C-alpha cells in the first residue's frame, strides 16, 4: 500500500484564543499517561454528496475550514506542550493537516479482518503513535484512495486527551463539517471547563513507562478478531451459563480474549504466573459532583483484579469476576471528587500499584480498553457515515481494545502482543472456534 503525502500545513483556529485561556495546566493523570498519541482512522467510500450543503470533505478545503472553525472550542489542540513547566501554551500555532494519495483500493482494505496487517494502517496516520514533546497536540491526515474513497487518520496527544476526549472532538468536528459552508455559531459545551487538574494538579512527574518507543517497536504486533452478532449470541447463551440480560457483549468478548491470551502464555511459558487484568473505566457522569459527559482531558480510572496461577476458570467464571471488578470501579467513581484521599487512590495510586505489579516477572498483565461507546460510526462529515473505523499497530504489549462493528451489534477485539506470543494466540482452537 503505497502512500505519498502531497501537502502538510498548520491549521490555526479561526478566532484567536483569549488571553485568560493561554495556559492550559495538565493534571497528574495526564502526566502519568504514556508518551503516545490516541488515534483513530475513519474510512469513507466515494459517494456523491447528499445535498448542496453536504459537500465532499476535500471540496473547497472544507476539511481545513471546518477544522479551523472547531479549534476555538478545543484551544489546547492548537497549542504546544512546554516540557519544562508541564503546561500547554495555547499559542494558536495550529494543528497539523496533511493530504496524501494512496495507491490502493479502499474496498480491499476493508474487506475483512485478514485483509491487511495492522502495521500498514500506521501509514494512514500523520504522526508516529509514540509521541515527542515537540509534536503538535493534534494532527490529521486525509488520505485519498485511487478509487476515490477516503481515510481520515487522527492523532491527538495523550498528554491532554484520553480516548473519550478524542471521540468528543471528532463528533464536534463532524458536526461543523456537515454544515458545509454555512455559518457556524459557537454554541457548544465548555469542553475544557472541568479539567482534571482542578482535582489532581500536576506534580511534575514523568510518564509511566509502558515500553512506548519513538522508534517503532516491530516486536509488538496487532491482530483484529471480529466477533459478529451470531458469535456473541452464542457466547452469551453457551450452556445457559451466561444469561442474555447479564454481562454486556464487551464484557463477554473481553473475558474470552483474556482467557485465550492466558492460555497462550501458559502454552509458551508454563503456568506459573499470576494474572493481573486491568479494565479502564470512563468516570464522566459517574462522579459527585458529576464530571460532564463532554469534558475533555484525562477522565479514566483503572479497575483491576488478580487471578492465582492455579486458577483455570471457565469463561462464565471470569466474566463474573471481571464484571464484579468493573462494578466496584464504577461504584468508587461516586467518591472520587468528594473524598480527596480516596479519589487519589482510585485515580492515581491504584494505577501505580497495578503498573508496579505488571513489571514483576511472576505476573502476566492484560490491559483492556473499551472504545465501543463513542459513536464513531455516526460521524458524518457531510458525505454519509464511515464504512469502517480502525486503530493501527499500537506499541503496547498485552493490550486489548474493543471497538464496535459497523452494524453496532458485534465487537472488534484489537489485540497487541509480542511477536513471539501472537502465534500461540492465533492457534488457540477455543478462540478460533468462537469467531
CA-derived radius of gyration, the chain: 21
According to the model, what pLDDT value does residue 219 have? Answer: 87
Number of independent structural domains in the chain:
2
- Domain for residue 205, yes or no? no
For 122, the domain range is 2-198
pLDDT in tens, 180-224: 655 555 556 789 999 999 999 999 998 887 656 555 567 899 999
Q: Is the CB of residue 212 less than 8 Å from the CB of residue 36?
A: yes
- Domain for residue 211, yes or no? no
Residue 158 appears among annotated catalytic residues: yes
- Domain for residue 382, yes or no? no
Contacts of 182 (CB under 8 A, 6+ apart): 53
CATH number of the domain where residue 77 is located: 3.30.559.10
Contacts of 422 (CB under 8 A, 6+ apart): 221, 223
Quickly tell me which residue has 485568560 as its cell.
20
Integer Cα distance of 257 and 322 in angstroms: 13
- Domain for residue 204, yes or no? no
- Domain for residue 385, yes or no? no
Q: Are residues 226 and 261 in the same domain?
A: yes
Q: Are residues 267 and 332 in the same domain?
A: yes
Q: Which of 158, 162, 370, 399 is catalytic?
A: 158
Task: Calculate mean pLDDT across residues 172-186.
Answer: 73
Q: Are residues 38 and 83 in the same domain?
A: yes
Task: Calculate mean pLDDT across residues 139-168.
Answer: 95
According to the model, what pLDDT value does residue 431 have? Answer: 94
Q: Are residues 260 and 338 in the same domain?
A: yes
- Calculate helix-pair angle for 249-269, 229-236, nearest 10 degrees: 80
Q: What is the DSSP string of 41-72?
A: EEEE-----SSTT---TTGGGHHHHHHHHHGG
- Domain for residue 209, yes or no? no
Q: Are residues 160 and 307 in the same domain?
A: no
Q: Which of 89, 105, 228, 380 is catalytic?
A: 380
This prediction's pTM: 0.93
According to the model, what pLDDT value does residue 49 have? Answer: 47
According to the model, what pLDDT value does residue 51 have? Answer: 45
Q: Are residues 239 and 176 in the same domain?
A: no
Q: Are residues 291 and 182 in the same domain?
A: no
Residue 217 appears among annotated catalytic residues: no
Contacts of 14 (CB under 8 A, 6+ apart): 68, 69, 71, 72
* DSSP run (H or E) holding 164: helix 163-177
The alpha carbon torsion through 406, 409, 410, 412 (nearest 10 deg) reads 50
Amino acid at each position: 500500500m503505497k502512500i505519498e503525502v502531497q501537502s502538510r500545513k498548520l491549521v490555526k483556529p479561526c478566532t484567536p484564543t483569549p488571553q485568560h485561556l493561554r495556559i492550559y495546566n495538565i493534571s497528574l493523570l495526564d502526566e502519568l499517561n504514556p508518551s503516545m498519541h490516541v488515534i483513530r482512522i475513519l474510512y469513507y467510500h466515494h459517494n456523491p454528496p447528499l445535498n448542496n450543503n453536504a459537500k465532499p470533505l476535500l471540496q473547497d478545503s472544507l476539511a481545513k475550514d471546518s477544522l479551523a472553525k472547531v479549534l476555538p472550542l478545543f484551544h489546547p489542540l492548537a497549542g504546544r506542550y512546554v516540557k519544562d513547566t508541564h503546561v500547554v501554551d495555547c499559542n494558536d500555532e495550529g494543528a497539523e493537516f496533511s493530504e496524501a494519495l494512496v495507491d490502493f483500493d479502499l474496498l480491499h482494505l476493508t474487506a475483512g479482518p485478514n485483509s491487511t496487517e495492522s502495521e500498514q494502517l500506521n501509514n494512514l496516520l500523520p504522526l508516529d503513535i509514540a509521541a515527542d514533546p515537540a509534536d503538535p497536540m493534534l494532527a490529521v491526515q486525509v488520505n485519498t484512495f485511487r478509487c476515490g474513497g477516503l481515510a481520515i487518520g487522527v492523532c491527538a496527544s495523550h498528554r491532554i486527551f484520553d480516548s473519550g476526549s478524542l471521540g468528543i472532538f471528532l463528533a464536534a468536528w463532524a458536526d461543523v463539517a456537515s454544515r458545509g459552508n454555512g455559518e457556524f455559531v459557537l454554541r457548544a459545551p465548555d469542553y475544557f471547563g472541568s479539567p482534571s487538574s482542578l482535582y489532581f494538579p500536576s506534580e511534575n512527574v514523568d510518564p509511566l513507562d509502558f515500553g512506548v518507543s519513538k522508534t517503532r517497536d516491530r516486536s509488538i504486533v496487532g491482530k483484529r478478531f471480529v466477533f459478529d452478532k451470531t458469535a456473541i449470541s452464542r457466547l452469551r447463551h453457551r450452556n445457559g451459563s451466561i444469561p442474555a440480560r447479564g454481562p454486556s457483549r464487551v464484557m463477554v468478548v473481553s473475558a474470552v480474549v483474556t482467557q485465550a491470551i492466558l492460555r497462550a502464555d501458559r502454552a509458551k511459558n508454563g503456568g506459573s504466573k499470576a494474572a493481573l487484568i486491568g479494565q479502564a473505566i470512563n468516570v464522566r457522569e459517574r462522579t459527585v459532583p458529576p464530571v460532564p459527559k463532554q469534558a475533555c482531558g484525562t477522565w479514566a480510572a483503572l479497575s483491576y483484579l488478580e487471578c492465582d496461577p492455579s486458577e483455570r476458570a471457565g469463561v462464565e467464571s471470569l466474566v463474573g469476576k471481571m464484571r464484579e471488578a468493573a462494578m466496584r470501579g464504577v461504584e468508587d467513581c461516586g467518591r472520587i471528587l468528594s473524598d480527596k484521599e480516596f479519589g487519589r487512590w482510585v485515580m492515581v495510586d491504584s494505577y501505580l500499584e497495578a503498573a508496579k505489579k505488571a513489571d514483576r516477572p511472576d505476573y502476566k498483565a492484560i490491559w483492556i480498553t473499551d472504545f465501543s461507546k463513542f459513536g464513531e460510526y455516526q460521524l458524518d462529515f457531510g458525505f454519509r457515515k464511515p464504512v469502517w473505523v480502525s486503530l493501527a499497530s499500537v506499541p503496547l504489549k498485552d493490550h486489548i481494545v474493543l471497538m464496535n462493528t459497523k452494524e453496532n451489534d458485534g465487537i472488534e477485539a484489537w489485540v497487541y502482543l509480542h511477536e513471539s506470543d501472537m502465534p500461540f494466540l492465533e492457534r488457540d482452537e477455543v478462540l478460533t472456534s468462537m469467531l
